[in-house]
Chains A and B, each alone.
Chain A
Amino acid sequence: MKARVTVTLKSGILDPQGKAIEGALKSLGVDGVASVRQGKVFDIEFAATDKAKAEAALKAAADKLLANTVIENYRVEVLS
Protein backbone atom coordinates (compact mmCIF):
# COMPACT_ATOMS: atom_id res chain seq x y z
CA MET A 1 0.00 0.00 0.00
CA LYS A 2 1.36 3.41 -0.97
CA ALA A 3 0.97 6.50 1.10
CA ARG A 4 2.13 10.08 1.07
CA VAL A 5 2.82 12.60 3.82
CA THR A 6 3.06 16.22 2.72
CA VAL A 7 4.70 18.68 5.11
CA THR A 8 4.29 22.41 4.60
CA LEU A 9 5.21 25.49 6.60
CA LYS A 10 2.35 27.01 8.57
CA SER A 11 1.06 30.27 7.18
CA GLY A 12 2.78 33.23 8.75
CA ILE A 13 6.07 31.35 9.15
CA LEU A 14 8.84 33.08 7.25
CA ASP A 15 10.06 30.88 4.39
CA PRO A 16 13.33 32.33 3.06
CA GLN A 17 13.86 29.32 0.79
CA GLY A 18 10.41 29.79 -0.76
CA LYS A 19 11.23 33.48 -1.24
CA ALA A 20 14.50 32.62 -3.02
CA ILE A 21 12.69 30.14 -5.30
CA GLU A 22 10.03 32.76 -5.97
CA GLY A 23 12.73 35.23 -6.99
CA ALA A 24 14.37 32.66 -9.26
CA LEU A 25 11.07 31.81 -10.97
CA LYS A 26 10.39 35.47 -11.58
CA SER A 27 13.85 36.03 -13.02
CA LEU A 28 13.30 33.02 -15.30
CA GLY A 29 10.26 34.78 -16.64
CA VAL A 30 7.73 32.24 -15.39
CA ASP A 31 4.46 34.11 -15.72
CA GLY A 32 2.01 34.93 -13.00
CA VAL A 33 3.89 33.69 -9.93
CA ALA A 34 2.46 35.50 -6.92
CA SER A 35 4.27 33.61 -4.16
CA VAL A 36 6.07 30.32 -3.43
CA ARG A 37 6.10 28.27 -0.24
CA GLN A 38 8.29 25.18 -0.21
CA GLY A 39 7.69 21.95 1.67
CA LYS A 40 8.48 18.24 1.74
CA VAL A 41 6.86 15.09 0.40
CA PHE A 42 7.42 11.63 1.89
CA ASP A 43 6.34 8.59 -0.13
CA ILE A 44 5.94 5.66 2.21
CA GLU A 45 5.13 2.06 1.38
CA PHE A 46 3.28 -0.19 3.80
CA ALA A 47 3.49 -3.97 3.86
CA ALA A 48 0.05 -4.24 5.45
CA THR A 49 -3.18 -3.35 3.65
CA ASP A 50 -5.37 -2.03 6.47
CA LYS A 51 -6.11 1.56 5.46
CA ALA A 52 -7.16 2.79 8.91
CA LYS A 53 -4.07 1.33 10.54
CA ALA A 54 -1.85 2.86 7.88
CA GLU A 55 -3.41 6.27 8.41
CA ALA A 56 -2.90 6.04 12.15
CA ALA A 57 0.73 5.00 11.63
CA LEU A 58 1.33 7.86 9.19
CA LYS A 59 -0.14 10.35 11.63
CA ALA A 60 2.14 9.02 14.36
CA ALA A 61 5.11 9.24 11.99
CA ALA A 62 4.31 12.84 11.12
CA ASP A 63 3.76 13.88 14.75
CA LYS A 64 6.84 12.11 16.06
CA LEU A 65 9.35 12.88 13.34
CA LEU A 66 8.36 13.98 9.84
CA ALA A 67 6.93 17.37 10.82
CA ASN A 68 7.94 19.89 13.44
CA THR A 69 4.45 20.93 14.44
CA VAL A 70 5.74 24.18 15.92
CA ILE A 71 6.18 25.51 12.39
CA GLU A 72 4.80 22.88 10.03
CA ASN A 73 1.46 21.38 9.04
CA TYR A 74 1.14 17.94 7.48
CA ARG A 75 -1.35 16.04 5.36
CA VAL A 76 -1.62 12.26 5.26
CA GLU A 77 -2.94 10.38 2.21
CA VAL A 78 -3.24 6.66 1.57
CA LEU A 79 -2.87 6.46 -2.20
CA SER A 80 -3.67 2.83 -3.02
Chain B
Amino acid sequence: MKSAVLVFPGINRERDMARALKLASGNETAMVWHAETALPKGTDLVVVPGGFSYGDYLRCGAIAARAPVMDAVRDFAASGGLVLGVCNGFQILCESGLLPGVLMRNAGLKFVCRDVHMRIERSDTPFTRGYNAGQVIRVPVAHGEGNYEADEETLKRLEGDGRVLYRYCSAEGVVDEASNFNGAAHSIAGIVNERGNVLGMMPHPENHVEEIMGCTDGRGLFAGLVQQFDKAA
Protein backbone atom coordinates (compact mmCIF):
# COMPACT_ATOMS: atom_id res chain seq x y z
CA MET B 1 0.00 0.00 0.00
CA LYS B 2 1.42 3.33 -1.06
CA SER B 3 0.13 6.11 1.11
CA ALA B 4 0.48 9.87 1.00
CA VAL B 5 0.04 12.08 4.06
CA LEU B 6 -0.86 15.71 3.41
CA VAL B 7 1.06 18.36 5.32
CA PHE B 8 -0.43 21.77 6.08
CA PRO B 9 1.05 24.50 8.28
CA GLY B 10 -0.16 23.84 11.82
CA ILE B 11 -0.73 20.10 11.35
CA ASN B 12 0.94 18.11 14.13
CA ARG B 13 -0.03 14.43 13.78
CA GLU B 14 1.44 13.79 10.35
CA ARG B 15 4.46 11.91 11.69
CA ASP B 16 2.36 9.75 14.00
CA MET B 17 0.23 8.89 10.99
CA ALA B 18 3.22 8.13 8.75
CA ARG B 19 4.66 5.89 11.46
CA ALA B 20 1.40 3.96 11.87
CA LEU B 21 1.10 3.54 8.09
CA LYS B 22 4.67 2.28 7.80
CA LEU B 23 4.18 -0.11 10.68
CA ALA B 24 1.15 -1.62 8.94
CA SER B 25 2.33 -1.59 5.32
CA GLY B 26 6.12 -1.78 5.59
CA ASN B 27 6.38 1.04 3.04
CA GLU B 28 7.63 4.57 3.49
CA THR B 29 4.86 7.13 3.40
CA ALA B 30 5.06 10.12 1.07
CA MET B 31 4.65 13.47 2.81
CA VAL B 32 2.87 15.86 0.45
CA TRP B 33 3.07 19.61 1.04
CA HIS B 34 -0.18 21.57 0.73
CA ALA B 35 1.08 23.69 -2.17
CA GLU B 36 1.63 20.63 -4.40
CA THR B 37 -0.80 20.26 -7.28
CA ALA B 38 -0.42 16.51 -7.77
CA LEU B 39 -0.19 13.38 -5.62
CA PRO B 40 2.74 10.97 -6.04
CA LYS B 41 2.16 8.48 -8.86
CA GLY B 42 0.67 5.19 -7.72
CA THR B 43 -0.81 6.54 -4.48
CA ASP B 44 -3.33 4.08 -3.01
CA LEU B 45 -4.37 6.02 0.07
CA VAL B 46 -4.39 9.72 0.90
CA VAL B 47 -4.44 10.68 4.57
CA VAL B 48 -5.39 14.10 5.87
CA PRO B 49 -3.89 14.07 9.37
CA GLY B 50 -4.82 15.83 12.57
CA GLY B 51 -3.55 19.02 14.09
CA PHE B 52 -4.47 22.66 13.88
CA SER B 53 -4.03 23.69 10.26
CA TYR B 54 -3.70 27.46 9.97
CA GLY B 55 -4.26 27.74 13.72
CA ASP B 56 -7.96 26.88 13.23
CA TYR B 57 -8.38 30.42 11.88
CA LEU B 58 -11.77 31.31 10.35
CA ARG B 59 -13.19 27.81 10.95
CA CYS B 60 -11.38 24.56 11.70
CA GLY B 61 -10.06 23.19 8.41
CA ALA B 62 -11.56 26.01 6.31
CA ILE B 63 -8.32 27.38 4.91
CA ALA B 64 -6.61 24.02 4.42
CA ALA B 65 -9.68 22.81 2.51
CA ARG B 66 -8.93 25.47 -0.14
CA ALA B 67 -5.23 24.55 -0.55
CA PRO B 68 -3.97 23.61 -4.04
CA VAL B 69 -3.35 19.97 -3.08
CA MET B 70 -7.04 19.52 -2.27
CA ASP B 71 -7.95 19.75 -5.97
CA ALA B 72 -5.71 16.75 -6.55
CA VAL B 73 -7.37 14.97 -3.60
CA ARG B 74 -10.82 15.72 -5.05
CA ASP B 75 -9.77 14.21 -8.40
CA PHE B 76 -8.25 11.22 -6.60
CA ALA B 77 -11.47 10.65 -4.63
CA ALA B 78 -13.60 11.10 -7.76
CA SER B 79 -11.65 8.30 -9.41
CA GLY B 80 -12.36 6.02 -6.45
CA GLY B 81 -9.11 6.46 -4.49
CA LEU B 82 -9.28 5.95 -0.72
CA VAL B 83 -9.06 9.06 1.46
CA LEU B 84 -8.83 9.00 5.26
CA GLY B 85 -9.23 12.17 7.32
CA VAL B 86 -8.56 12.13 11.05
CA CYS B 87 -9.55 14.90 13.48
CA ASN B 88 -8.54 18.15 11.76
CA GLY B 89 -8.45 15.98 8.63
CA PHE B 90 -12.16 15.17 9.12
CA GLN B 91 -12.86 18.91 9.50
CA ILE B 92 -10.87 19.63 6.33
CA LEU B 93 -12.80 16.96 4.36
CA CYS B 94 -16.13 18.44 5.50
CA GLU B 95 -14.99 21.96 4.63
CA SER B 96 -13.79 20.81 1.20
CA GLY B 97 -17.17 19.30 0.40
CA LEU B 98 -15.82 15.75 0.19
CA LEU B 99 -17.96 14.79 3.18
CA PRO B 100 -21.34 16.20 4.20
CA GLY B 101 -22.03 18.06 7.42
CA VAL B 102 -19.88 20.08 9.74
CA LEU B 103 -17.92 19.71 12.98
CA MET B 104 -19.17 22.20 15.53
CA ARG B 105 -17.80 23.28 18.89
CA ASN B 106 -18.07 20.45 21.45
CA ALA B 107 -21.41 20.68 23.22
CA GLY B 108 -19.64 21.14 26.57
CA LEU B 109 -17.45 23.92 25.08
CA LYS B 110 -14.32 22.17 26.39
CA PHE B 111 -11.39 20.75 24.50
CA VAL B 112 -11.46 17.02 25.27
CA CYS B 113 -8.21 15.06 25.36
CA ARG B 114 -8.57 11.49 26.59
CA ASP B 115 -9.32 7.93 25.53
CA VAL B 116 -12.86 7.13 24.46
CA HIS B 117 -14.58 4.02 23.14
CA MET B 118 -16.11 3.67 19.74
CA ARG B 119 -18.13 0.91 18.15
CA ILE B 120 -17.41 -0.42 14.69
CA GLU B 121 -20.80 -0.38 12.99
CA ARG B 122 -19.92 -2.64 10.04
CA SER B 123 -16.89 -4.56 8.90
CA ASP B 124 -17.50 -4.74 5.15
CA THR B 125 -15.68 -1.53 4.18
CA PRO B 126 -12.01 -0.86 3.37
CA PHE B 127 -11.80 1.22 6.55
CA THR B 128 -13.29 -1.35 8.91
CA ARG B 129 -12.41 -4.76 7.47
CA GLY B 130 -9.74 -5.19 10.13
CA TYR B 131 -12.49 -5.31 12.77
CA ASN B 132 -15.70 -7.19 13.45
CA ALA B 133 -19.06 -5.45 13.26
CA GLY B 134 -20.09 -4.44 16.77
CA GLN B 135 -16.52 -4.54 18.06
CA VAL B 136 -15.65 -1.83 20.59
CA ILE B 137 -12.20 -0.24 20.47
CA ARG B 138 -10.44 2.31 22.66
CA VAL B 139 -9.06 5.36 20.85
CA PRO B 140 -7.70 8.75 21.92
CA VAL B 141 -9.50 11.97 21.05
CA ALA B 142 -8.08 15.49 21.24
CA HIS B 143 -10.38 18.14 19.88
CA GLY B 144 -12.48 21.18 20.70
CA GLU B 145 -14.65 21.00 17.57
CA GLY B 146 -15.77 17.43 17.01
CA ASN B 147 -19.49 17.75 17.44
CA TYR B 148 -20.72 16.35 14.13
CA GLU B 149 -23.88 17.99 12.82
CA ALA B 150 -25.80 17.76 9.57
CA ASP B 151 -29.37 18.51 8.55
CA GLU B 152 -32.04 15.89 9.23
CA GLU B 153 -32.17 14.83 5.60
CA THR B 154 -28.40 14.18 5.50
CA LEU B 155 -28.45 12.28 8.81
CA LYS B 156 -31.29 10.13 7.57
CA ARG B 157 -29.36 9.34 4.42
CA LEU B 158 -26.14 8.57 6.35
CA GLU B 159 -28.02 6.15 8.60
CA GLY B 160 -30.13 4.64 5.82
CA ASP B 161 -27.08 3.95 3.65
CA GLY B 162 -25.02 2.57 6.54
CA ARG B 163 -22.44 5.32 6.18
CA VAL B 164 -21.86 5.80 9.90
CA LEU B 165 -18.87 3.50 10.43
CA TYR B 166 -17.89 4.53 13.96
CA ARG B 167 -20.01 5.64 16.90
CA TYR B 168 -19.02 6.77 20.39
CA CYS B 169 -20.12 4.27 23.01
CA SER B 170 -19.45 3.01 26.53
CA ALA B 171 -16.74 0.40 27.18
CA GLU B 172 -19.51 -2.19 26.89
CA GLY B 173 -20.56 -0.91 23.46
CA VAL B 174 -23.70 0.91 24.54
CA VAL B 175 -24.38 4.09 22.56
CA ASP B 176 -25.83 6.58 25.03
CA GLU B 177 -25.74 10.22 26.02
CA ALA B 178 -23.08 9.70 28.68
CA SER B 179 -20.57 8.32 26.17
CA ASN B 180 -21.32 10.99 23.57
CA PHE B 181 -18.78 13.38 25.10
CA ASN B 182 -18.86 16.03 22.34
CA GLY B 183 -22.58 16.00 21.62
CA ALA B 184 -22.29 14.68 18.06
CA ALA B 185 -25.53 13.93 16.22
CA HIS B 186 -26.31 10.20 16.54
CA SER B 187 -23.01 9.81 18.49
CA ILE B 188 -21.20 9.92 15.16
CA ALA B 189 -17.42 9.41 15.39
CA GLY B 190 -16.80 8.62 11.71
CA ILE B 191 -18.65 8.62 8.40
CA VAL B 192 -17.98 7.82 4.76
CA ASN B 193 -19.09 9.60 1.61
CA GLU B 194 -21.77 8.20 -0.68
CA ARG B 195 -19.31 6.10 -2.66
CA GLY B 196 -17.69 4.77 0.52
CA ASN B 197 -14.12 5.72 -0.40
CA VAL B 198 -13.70 8.84 1.75
CA LEU B 199 -13.71 8.43 5.54
CA GLY B 200 -13.65 11.17 8.15
CA MET B 201 -13.27 10.41 11.86
CA MET B 202 -12.50 12.47 14.97
CA PRO B 203 -10.58 9.87 17.08
CA HIS B 204 -6.89 9.12 16.48
CA PRO B 205 -6.40 5.42 15.63
CA GLU B 206 -2.77 6.20 14.67
CA ASN B 207 -1.99 6.86 18.33
CA HIS B 208 -2.99 3.35 19.44
CA VAL B 209 -0.87 1.09 17.28
CA GLU B 210 2.19 0.11 19.36
CA GLU B 211 2.57 -1.63 22.72
CA ILE B 212 4.44 1.38 24.11
CA MET B 213 1.34 3.50 23.51
CA GLY B 214 -0.54 1.36 26.03
CA CYS B 215 -3.12 0.15 23.52
CA THR B 216 -3.08 -1.28 20.00
CA ASP B 217 -6.79 -1.05 19.18
CA GLY B 218 -6.10 1.31 16.27
CA ARG B 219 -4.07 -1.28 14.36
CA GLY B 220 -7.12 -2.91 12.82
CA LEU B 221 -7.92 0.13 10.72
CA PHE B 222 -4.46 0.22 9.14
CA ALA B 223 -4.18 -3.56 8.84
CA GLY B 224 -7.55 -3.61 7.08
CA LEU B 225 -6.44 -0.97 4.60
CA VAL B 226 -3.25 -2.89 3.84
CA GLN B 227 -5.29 -6.09 3.33
CA GLN B 228 -7.54 -4.21 0.94
CA PHE B 229 -4.61 -3.48 -1.36
CA ASP B 230 -3.00 -6.90 -0.94
CA LYS B 231 -6.26 -8.38 -2.15
CA ALA B 232 -6.41 -5.95 -5.08
CA ALA B 233 -2.80 -6.68 -6.08
Q: Which A residues lie at the B interface, using CB under 8 A?
A: 13-14, 16-17, 20, 64-66, 68, 70-71
Contacts and interface: CB of A to CB of B under 8 A. Distances in A.
Interface of B: 58-59, 62-63, 66, 95, 100-102, 104-109, 149-151, 183
Contact of A65 (B58, B106, B149): B58
B149 A13 contact: yes
Q: Which 10 A-B pairs have the closest CB atoms?
A: A70-B102, A16-B105, A71-B102, A16-B109, A20-B109, A68-B59, A68-B102, A16-B107, A17-B105, A65-B66
B104 A71 contact: yes
Given A65-B62, A66-B58, A68-B95, A14 B104 contact: yes
A17 B106 CA distance: 10
Nearest to A70: B102
B33 to A, nearest CB: 21
A71 B62 contact: no
Contacts of A13: 104, 149
Nearest to A12: B151
A14 B66 contact: no
Contacts of A20: 109
